[in-house]
Amino acid sequence: MTGEQVLIFLAGIVGGALRVGAPFLFVSLGECLTEKSGRINLGLEGVLVLSAMSAFGASYLSGSPWVGVLAAALTGALLATLHGVLCSLPRVNDIATGIALMLLGTGLAFYLGKPLIQPQAPQLPAIALGEWSSSAAVRSALQVNALVPIGLAIAVALRWAFANTRTGLLVRLAGDSASAARALGYSVAGIRIAATAAGGMIAGLGGASLTLFYPGSWNEGISSGQGLIAVALVIFARWSPLRCVGAALLFGGAGAIGPALQSIGIGWGYHLFNIVPYVLTLLILVITCRPGSVVAGSPGELSSR
Amino acid sequence: MRNALKEALLPAGAIVAALLLFGVFVWFAGVHPAEVWLLLFKGAFGDWYSWQNTLQRAAPLMLTALCVAIPARAGLVIIGGEGALVLGGLASAGLAQGLSLPANSAGTALVCAAGAVAGGLWIAVAGWLRQYRGVNETISSLLLAYVAIGLFKHLVEGPLRDPASLNKPSTHALAEGLRIGGIGGSDVHWGLLAGMLACLAAGLWLRLTPSGFAVRVVGGNPRAAQLVGLPASRLILLACALGGAAAGLAGAIEVAAVHTSANASLIAGYGYAGILVSFIARHHPLAVIPVAILFGGFGAAGSLLQRRLGLPDASVLLLQGIAFVLILASEALRDTDWKALWARIGRFGPAGPAAAQSGMGDKIA
């Protein structure tokens, strides 16, 4: 490897961390908010795919990518609300409902998104971080999604809201002790549905960044389980929105190894490098979880920890 | 028997509701719902050709559903059956490629056993991670499925690839004698029988044997299991391994009976559809058989919907999604006392003494 290649490779990893990491960031923040209220939403995978489709469709039809972003957030909130409402019914388990919504979300997206596979939709603008370099490869590798700053702002806002606002405290109360929330006269189910819906809204932005920035097109293989990895990411981040940012970037970087190697002409083991994020997730779960004990920071009401 | 009928009523109602809702969806697409329902029936069970297609799809579904059902009876939600299926197919093709197996039924049995072992070990890892490391099995099994698919693609496109497979990377095709043929010259292969026998065996094991009973105790009430000193971890590992073995066997059978080699066609989503089948069957191995045939039928009818009515090929996925959501939602109605509810509604009308009484009984309960 020459110095030039090393630079391109490193830029590929850093740029890829921001590019591949963006959907992880939004989905993990959405999951973090949902889990803080005491529910798990495995259906965020379905939310991600459906909102990716609706973002692409809205952007294509309206000609503005920001309309697409809005549509993605609304779709995400809608599907997540369904999850929240279903889980509030008696004897309905949130894990099973999540799996069902995963299937429903992808089914709906593929069904409605069939005519969108061919066309090109207007894309989100990119923020150029690589202007300092003379190498075109480095510059193109460091094009960053315009939604990433929004994601960072949401992370900071969530962190602040959980610590300082009445709403944030209520969400945490519903997640840590449902009976305490009930004793104070709040509807636990209502709080959880609202938190799940808001989480779905944030996760929907992740869908928008998939189809409106990277990879930037709609097809049926658009998501490769980011919505599920997010559940593991939140455990890794110990339910802290700020740590979710770091976790998402780490996973983005791990997912970027394969494409970055390919960009400098190393094609061997492409599929092996693609499984690095999954293996990393498993390793992190093995390291952070302990049998029979609860991970520090875990909301007390979570059905499976 | 009456109880079993009652158990089946809610899922059946949910499937009917799902078909109705699906009809609304296709209506928006400009297709008459009745036409879709008729075509779904015709494509699934209309004639002998459809039946063959349906049963061919039902065979792997039964086995992947067992991969959810058996661990579920031990209290685990395993959703990574796709990984076990893919690795099972890979192991069977790899074994046939690496060793010169006798080209007869003994060889076929070895090929299937390789698939079952690979799948069993893979899902057992998820069980092990849960029992000994405290990792949630739902997430780990799904991550393992993605890892398995990555490994599969790497090996099929790399070290195990048959150089003659140009456009579609595949392993070497299984020798003629190792393949699984059709039953009585039809397209329905013997894998269907294997699937039904596996469901039957799993049902009898859970119901009649001490170890099967112990697994159900562990799943039903972990505290009670602990009090009577059942080896919970070992039983959970056993349940995971058996479930995984079923999914791995499905992969081996798909390779030996349908694809003749391991290639990307094996990743067809049977593992995920199996989750749905198992949930509808309420994780009951015997109920898996009819449900798998029903959903195999929907799968078979999917291509017909696409060809005749121009609906997207994802229509069946959508139908499955709607069905799954409604099945789970119907659980909320399970313990509804219909008589009391009926009486309560009746109270607003001409209230007889009987209605008032059962209404009170409802309140006390």
Q: Do A104 and B157 touch (CB under 8 A)?
A: no
* Set of chain A residues whose Cβ sits within 8 Å of the Cβ of B319: 107
- At B364, the pLDDT band (50, 70, 90 cuts) reads very low
Q: Do B325 and A100 touch (CB under 8 A)?
A: yes
Sites in chain A below the pLDDT cut of 50 = 304-305
Least CB–CB distance from A91: residue in B131, B315, B331: B331
- Ordered DSSP codes for A210-236: HHHTSS-S--TTS-SSHHHHHHHHHHH
Return the pLDDT at A230: 87
Angle at B105 between CA B104 and CA B109, to 5 degrees: 125
* Interface with B, mutate which of A94, A101, A111 (most B CBs under 10 A): A111
CA distance to partner chain A, nearest, from residue B127 (Å): 12
Compute φ and ψ for A149, nearest 5 degrees.
Answer: -60, -35
Q: Do B136 and A105 touch (CB under 8 A)?
A: no
Query: Which of helix, strand or coil describes residue B1?
Result: coil
Least CB–CB distance from A285: residue in B77, B135, B157: B135
Q: Which helix (H) or strand (E) holds B82?
A: helix B81-98
Return the pLDDT at B349: 55
Cα→Cα distances B135→A34, A301, B120, Å: 20, 17, 18
Return the pLDDT at B351: 47
Cα gap B260→B179, rounded to integer Å: 7
Return the pLDDT at A155: 97
A144 within 8 A of A127, measured Cβ to Cβ? yes
* Set of chain A residues whose Cβ sits within 8 Å of the Cβ of B135: 282, 285-286, 289
Return the pLDDT at B3: 74
Q: Do B77 and A95 touch (CB under 8 A)?
A: yes
Beta bridge partners of A144: A127
Chain center to CA of A19 = 12
CA distance to partner chain B, nearest, from residue A148 (Å): 26
Give exposure, B244-280, as e/b (b: 16+ Cβ within 10 Å).
Answer: bbbbbbbbbbbbbbbbbbbbbebbbebbbbbbbbbbb
* Set of chain A residues whose Cβ sits within 8 Å of the Cβ of B131: 291
Cα gap A292→A305, rounded to integer Å: 10
Return the pLDDT at B354: 46
**B359 at the A interface (CB within 8 A)?**
no
CA distance to partner chain B, nearest, from residue A135 (Å): 32
Report whether pLDDT(B352) > 70.
Answer: no
Return the pLDDT at A193: 96
Q: Among B323, B360, B231, which residue's Cα sits nearest to residue B17?
A: B323
- Ordered DSSP codes for B132-173: HH---HHHHHHHHHHHHHHHHHHHHHTTT--TT--SS-B-PP
Q: Do A100 and B332 touch (CB under 8 A)?
A: no
Return the pLDDT at B277: 92
Contacts of B252 (CB under 8 A, 6+ apart): B88, B89, B91, B92, B111, B112, B114, B115, B116
Report whether pLDDT(B172) > 60.
Answer: yes
* Set of chain A residues whose Cβ sits within 8 Å of the Cβ of B314: 107, 110-111, 114, 220
CA distance to partner chain A, nearest, from residue B345 (Å): 21
Give exposure, A188-209, as e/b (b: 16+ Cβ within 10 Å).
Answer: bbebbbbbbbbbbbbbbbbbbb
Comparison of pLDDT for B356 and A143, the residue scoring more: A143
Q: What would you report as the CA-atom Rg of chain A, rounded to the nearest whole angstrom?
A: 19
Q: Do A104 and B318 touch (CB under 8 A)?
A: yes
Cα gap A53→A197, rounded to integer Å: 18
* Interface with A, mutate which of B328, B331, B336 (most A CBs under 10 A): B328
Domain boundaries, chain A: 25-228
Kindly report the CATH number that applies to the domain delimited by B2-334: 1.10.3470
Least CB–CB distance from A271: residue in B139, B153, B334: B153
- Sign for the pseudo-dihedral over CA of B97, B103, B104, B106: negative
- At B1, the pLDDT band (50, 70, 90 cuts) reads low
Residue of B nearest to A79 (CA): B325
Cα→Cα distances A33→A73, B70, B219, Å: 15, 33, 30
Return the pLDDT at B365: 36
Per residue in B5-48, pLDDT (tens digit) is: 777 888 899 999 999 999 999 998 888 999 999 999 999 999 99
**B277 at the A interface (CB within 8 A)?**
no
Q: Which ipTM was obtained for this model?
A: 0.89
Kindly report, as residue ranges, where domains of CATH 1.10.3470 are found in chain B: 2-334
Cα gap B229→B245, rounded to integer Å: 27
Return the pLDDT at B254: 95
Residue of B nearest to A287 (CA): B133
Q: Which residue has the tokens 């938190």?
A: A195
Q: What is the DSSP letter of A120?
A: -
Q: Do A271 and B154 touch (CB under 8 A)?
A: yes
Per residue in B194-232, pLDDT (tens digit) is: 999 999 999 999 999 999 999 999 999 989 998 999 999
Per residue in B237-263, pLDDT (tens digit) is: 999 999 999 999 999 999 999 999 999
Q: Do A275 and B147 touch (CB under 8 A)?
A: yes
Return the pLDDT at A1: 61
Least CB–CB distance from B314: residue in A111, A232, A290: A111
**pTM across the whole model:** 0.88
B80: tokens are 């990574």
Least CB–CB distance from A274: residue in B150, B275, B319: B150
User: Looking at chain B from residue 316 to 335, which residues have their Cβ under 8 Å from any Cβ of chain A?
Assistant: 317-322, 324-325, 327-329, 331-332, 334-335
Q: What is the mean pLDDT of residues B181-206?
A: 93
Return the pLDDT at A62: 94
Beta bridge partners of A126: A145
Report whether pLDDT(B112) > 90.
Answer: yes
CA distance to partner chain A, nearest, from residue B361 (Å): 21
Q: Among B271, B290, B279, which residue's Cα sits nearest to residue B87?
A: B271
Q: At what angle do helices B33-45 and B2-28 cross, to 10 degrees?
A: 130
Compute φ and ψ for A126, nearest 5 degrees.
Answer: -105, 150
Return the pLDDT at A303: 57
* Interface with A, mutate which of B10, B270, B315, B325 (most A CBs under 10 A): B325
Q: Do A291 and B132 touch (CB under 8 A)?
A: yes
A28 within 8 A of A247, measured Cβ to Cβ? yes
B85 within 8 A of B251, measured Cβ to Cβ? yes
The torsion angle over the Cα atoms of residues B48, B50, B56 and B59, rounded to 10 degrees, is -90
Residue of B nearest to A285 (CA): B135
